[in-house]
Structure 1
Amino acid sequence: MRDASSEVRSLRSNELRSRLLVSLLGVTLALTACSSTDPGEPSAEQEADKPRLELVPKDAAKDVSPIEPVEVRASRGTIDEVSLTNPAGKEVSGSLSKDKASWASDEPLGYDRQYTLEASIRGKDGKTVTEKSSFTTVSPAGTVYPSFLPPPKITTVGVGQPIAVIFDSPPPDQAAAERALKVTATPETEGSWYWWDDRTVHWRPKDYWKPGTKVTVDAKVYGVHLGDGMYGDTDRTLNLTIGPAKIATIDDKTHRMVVTVNGKKVKTFPVSMGRAGSTTGKDGKKISFITPSGTYVAQEKYKVKRMNSDSYGLPSDASLGYDEKIPLAVRVSNSGIFVHAAPWSVADQGRRNVSHGCVNLSPEAGRWFYDNFSYGDIVTIHNTATKLAPTDGFGDWNIPWEKWQEGSALR
C-alpha cells in the first residue's frame, strides 16, 4: 500500500511537468509564428525593391500653372511609357531623360483645362507598374495681351528707338509684368524699363543704341499671374536691328537743320518751324504754335498725310485753321508735329517761322528726309521758347537717366 503523501507528491510532480511542456510548446509556437512568411505577401526586402512612380501634379490637383512642367519620376525601375492628354485626347509632348528615370512635358498647357497623366515603369524583375492622375489648370479671371511699338513688321530702326510694350488692359501687378519682359542686345547694352501709364511700359538704353546692335524683346507673359487673378494671354517676341546713327539737329537761331549719319555731316537744310504766339481753341484751351525744343524720335511716315486743325481743337474754318493733304510727312510726336515738305513756305525757310508747329522743308529737302529718315531716327530741336513734354510720342530721351530708372516697377 502506497503512502498517501508520496502519492500526492507524485501527482504534483506530474502536474508541474505537464505545465512545463505546455509552456515550452507555447514558446515554440510563438517563435514559429514570428519567423514564418505568408507566401501571399511580399517581404520587407521585396517591398523595398518594388518600382515606384511619382506624378507631378498629384491626382485631383487644382489651379495648376500651365507653364510649370508636368513630371514623372521613377525609382527602382525605368519609365516605359508616358501619356499626357488634354480634354480632346490630344497628347502633350514631353521628353524622357537618357536614364529613363524622369519625364517632363515641354510645351505649355491651356488655361482652365483638365489633363490626364498616365505612366508605366518597368522594374528589375520585368514587371510593370502603372500610375494615373488627373488635374486641372488655373482658370484666369481675365487675360492681358501685350503689343509692341515699333510693330513687328518693322525690323530695322534708328539709334534713338525706345521699345514700348502696351498691354490691352492694365496689369494689376506691374512688377510681375515687368519681370516677364526681357531685352537682349548684342553687343550688351545698358537700359531700363519705365512705366508710361498703367498699360504702357518703355525700355530705352542709357545712351543711344550702337549701330548694328541686334535686339530681341521677349514678353513671356503666358501663364504668369499679373495680379487679381489676371494672367498673360500669350508670349510675344520682337526682333530688331539697329541701323545707322541718323540725327537731324535743328537750331531755331539759324533756322537750319544739320543732318549727320554715323557722326559725319551729310546735309544742311533751311527750315521753318512753328510761328510765335498762340490762339484759343473751340474748347477755350490755349493753343501754342511754337515748336518745342527737345529730342524727338521718328515714328511713322506718309507719302501724303491729311492734316486737319480740328484734331487739336482749332476749327478748320477759323482764320488760322486748315484741312490739307501734306506731302512727304514724317511724324515725330503724338501731338501732331511732323517734318514734311512745304512748297508754300520755301521763301520763309531759313529766315522765319511760319508753320503751326511742324518743321517745313523744301520739296527737294523733304524728299531726301522722307527717303532717309524712319522709325527710331533722331530729330533734336534747340533754342525755341517751349520744351517738349517727355510723354509726347517717344519723348523718352528728354528724361534724365537717373529719373528714368526710377520709373521701373522693380526699383
Structure 2
Amino acid sequence: MLVAGGLAACGADAKLVDGKGEEPPPESAAQLTVSPETGTEEAPVSTEIGVEVEAGEVTEVVLQPEGGEPVEGELRPDGTSWVPSSPLEYETTYTAAVTAVDADEIPVTTETTFTTMASPGNQMFASIWNGSEYEYGQATPIMLDFPREFSVPEEERANVERRLFVKSDPPQPGAWHWFSGNHLEYRPQEYWQPGTVIEVRAAIGGMPLGGGVYGEADITQTVHISGTARSVEVSNETKQMVAMENGEVVKTMPISLGKDSSPSYSGTMIVMEKLAETVFDTTNEPGCNGEEDGEDCYITDIQWAQRLTWSGQFIHSAPWSVGDQGVRNVSHGCVNASPADSEWIFNFTRVGDPVIVTGTGVELPYGDGFTAYDLSWEEFLEGSYLEPPDTTQTDDD
C-alpha cells in the first residue's frame, strides 16, 4: 500500500527516465564521419581532419595534442576537411572533436585520435619566387619551384595543388599550371586588379610528395600588385613600341625587332628582370667557339635591359641601330630602342608588367619566360590537376 501510494503521488503524466524526472536530449539528424580513423599511426604532419556530414553542417573543429593547446586552422571552402594553420608536430598524439548541427540546430560531436609519424629523413625544400618587398605589375604569376633535380610525380600533383592556398584582396579566383614537375605558376583569369594584395601559403611541410620525399616546411608570402596598370605593346607592322597606363597611351617609340635570321617572338611576355647595366655575351653559343667572330658572336655592354625570355630576348638600348628603328629589323631578337627611349621605358615598367609583341610570325615558346598569360584561360587550366575554379562569383556574392 505504501508503494502504491507513492506511485500515485507522482501524477498520471509523470515520466521516469533513467531514474530521473528528465527527458533525454533529442538526437541530431546530422550524420558525421571524420578522418583519420581513430588509432591511426604514422600520420603525416600535413594531415587534415577530413569531414563527411549528411543532413547538417560543421560548426566547430577542435584539434588538440595531448597536454597541449588547441591547434589553429579553418575549414576548406568546400567543407571537405579542416586544415591546420601550420604543420603538426612529429611523434605526437592528437584528438580531433568535430561538431555538426542539423536543421534544428541539434548538435552531434564525433572524435578521432591519431599519432603523427617521426621526422622523415628525405625532405625537400620548395620556394616562392615572388617577394613581399616589391610592387609587381599586373601580369605577375605566383611561382612555386621545387629543386631542379626533383619532379613531383603526376599522381601526387593534385594533392600538392590542394595544399597551395592563394587568397587575394579583392578576391580573384585563379588556378595553378604545372609547366614542369618542379615549376608551377598561378594566375587569375584576367590580369590582377590594381592594388591587389595576395596571401600565399604553400602548406607542404611534412607532406608526402611522392617517391618517399616529404616537404621540408610550409612557405608563406604576401605579394603586392601595383595600384597602376601598365603594359607595353610592340608592333612589328609599325615598328613602334607603345607604353600604356590604365588603358591610355602614354608614349610611342620607334623600335627595331629581330632580323630574319634571328626573329623576335610574338606573344604575351612579362618583364622578368631589369638590369640598368649588363653585358651580352654570345661567344659560348653554338658556332661561336668562345670567341668574338662576326656579328653573331660578340661581347657587348648593354644599358636599360629588361628580360622578356629565358632564351635572351630583351628590351634594351641600342645606339648602333637608331637609324633602323621604326624602319627595319636588325636585332638578334631583342626589342632595340634609342638610349633615351630605353631609359624612359625602363623607368616606366615594373617586373610583372605585360609586354605584348605582335606580327613577327614566330610564336613565343611554351615556358620560355613567364608565359602564364601567353596561354588562353582554357589552355592554362589544362595544366592543373584540380577542377576549374568558379570565376562567376563577384565581390557581392
The TM-score normalised by the length of structure 2 is 0.69
Root mean square deviation, CA, Å: 3.1
Summarize the alignment of residues 372-411 of structure 1 with structure 2, pairs less than 5 Å apart.
372-411=348-387
- Tell me, which stretches of 5 or more residues in structure 2 are unaligned? 1-35, 50-63, 72-83, 95-112, 388-397
Q: Quickly say closer, same or farther: Cα 1:221–1:107, change in 2 above 3 A.
A: closer
**1:192 aligns to 2:175 (yes or no):** yes
Whether the aligned pair in 2 keeps the contact of 1:95 and 1:106 (CA below 8 Å) is no
Query: Are 1:64 and 1:138, in contact at CA under 8 Å, matched by a contact in 2?
Result: no
Residue identity matched to 2:176: W
Secondary structure of 1:274's counterpart equals coil
Once residues 396 and 340 of structure 1 are traced to their aligned partners in structure 2, the CA distance between those partners, rounded to angstroms, is 23
Q: State the partner residue of 2:138.
A: 159
Matched, 1:273 2:248: no
TM-fit CA distance, 1:342: 1.3
C-alpha distance in 1 between matches for 2:41 and 2:92 = 11
Q: CA contact under 8 A between 2:127 and 2:146: conserved in structure 1?
A: yes
Match of 1:313 in 2: 286
1:142 aligns with 2:115: no
Task: Give the superposition deviation at 1:323.
Answer: 0.9
- Offset at residue 110 of structure 1 (A): 4.7
When structure 1 is superposed on structure 2, of 258-267 and 162-171 the one drifting more is 162-171
Question: 397-406 or 152-161: which moved more?
Answer: 152-161
Match of 1:301 in 2: 274
- Is the 2:138–2:193 Cα contact (8 Å) retained in structure 1? yes
Structure 1 pair 224–83 and aligned structure 2 pair: CA distance change class (3 A)? closer
Contact kept? 2:86, 2:218, Cα under 8 Å: no
How far apart in 2 are the matches of 1:106 and 1:262? 37
For normalisation by structure 1, the TM-score amounts to 0.66
**Aligned residue number for residue 309 of structure 2:** 333
1:230-249 mapped onto 2 (5 Å cutoff):
230-243=213-226, 244-249=228-233
Q: Which structure has the bigger radius of gyration? A: 1
Give distance in 1, aligned partners of 2:375 and 2:357. 15
Q: How does 1:283-294 map to 2 (within 5 A)?
A: 289-294=262-267
Q: Secondary structure at the match of 2:175?
A: strand
Q: Is residue 297–residue 332 contact of structure 1 (8 Å, CA) maintained in 2?
A: yes
Shift of 1:230: 2.2
Measure how far apart 1:224 and its partner are.
Answer: 2.0
**1:379 to 1:141, Cα distance in 2 relative to 1, 3 A:** same
Unaligned runs of 5+ in 1: 1-56, 71-81, 85-91, 97-104, 118-132, 278-288
After TM superposition, give the deviation of residue 374 of structure 1 in Å.
2.0
The offset of 1:341, in angstroms, is: 1.1
Q: Secondary structure at the match of 2:223?
A: strand
Per chain length, whose mean CA-contact separation is higher, i.e. which structure has more relative contact order (CA < 8 Å, sep 6+)?
2
Deviation at 1:189, TM superposition (A): 1.0
Whichever residue aligns with residue 304 of structure 1, its letter is E
Q: Percent of pairs identical after alignment?
A: 33
Equivalent in the alignment of 1:42: none
The equivalent residue for 1:7 is none
Would you say 1:358 and 2:334 are equivalent positions? yes
- Aligned-partner Cα distance in 1 for 2:136–2:321: 30
